[in-house]
Amino acid sequence: MQVAEVMTRFPATVRPGTTLHRAAELIAVSEVGQLMVVDAAGRFVGVLSEGDLVRALLPTAAEARQAGGSVTAAFEAFLARTGDRGEGPVDPLVRTDPITVGPGSHVAEAAVIMVDRGIRRLPVVEDGHLVGTVSRTDVCRAVLAHPVAVEVGDPRGNGRG
């Protein structure tokens, strides 16, 4: 089974120059952990992860202590920092060399890459253009759609005749 058969064809995307605030909104609305970054011509540029975005906006431990040290004070520092930095571009946070797969790649290949590298979603790129993404969930759906017949032996160890 090929990646093209299970991939998400219209993933959440942003363009270079998108503000951090707008990217955070898109991640929140789309409920994905990554935004695919594409240029105006649809060419794949890279990936922006929610983790990188949050780390860029979160106050440091020193900033949280300076704000008062409480969870509430840290959250207020987070809001202030978000306002200060939220209008900056996503560009410095974009990973421009992520692992990708093609639409003709086998789903098993994508699954192995995701497990080995601890990746939840891979960009699917063809001729330099983003054509979709494949996630761990997509792989699970593929497995469920094509179950492998397995003969189950007698639980007492007697096997089937």
**pLDDT reading at 146 higher than 90:** no
Quick check: 7 and 105 in contact, CB under 8 A?
no
Domain positions in the chain: 3-145
150 compared with 79, residue with greater pLDDT: 79
The whole-model pTM stands at: 0.76
Architecture of domain 3-145: Roll (3.10)
Average pLDDT of the residues in 130-157: 73
Q: Give the pLDDT band (50/70/90) at residue 160.
A: very low
- The mean pLDDT of the chain is 83
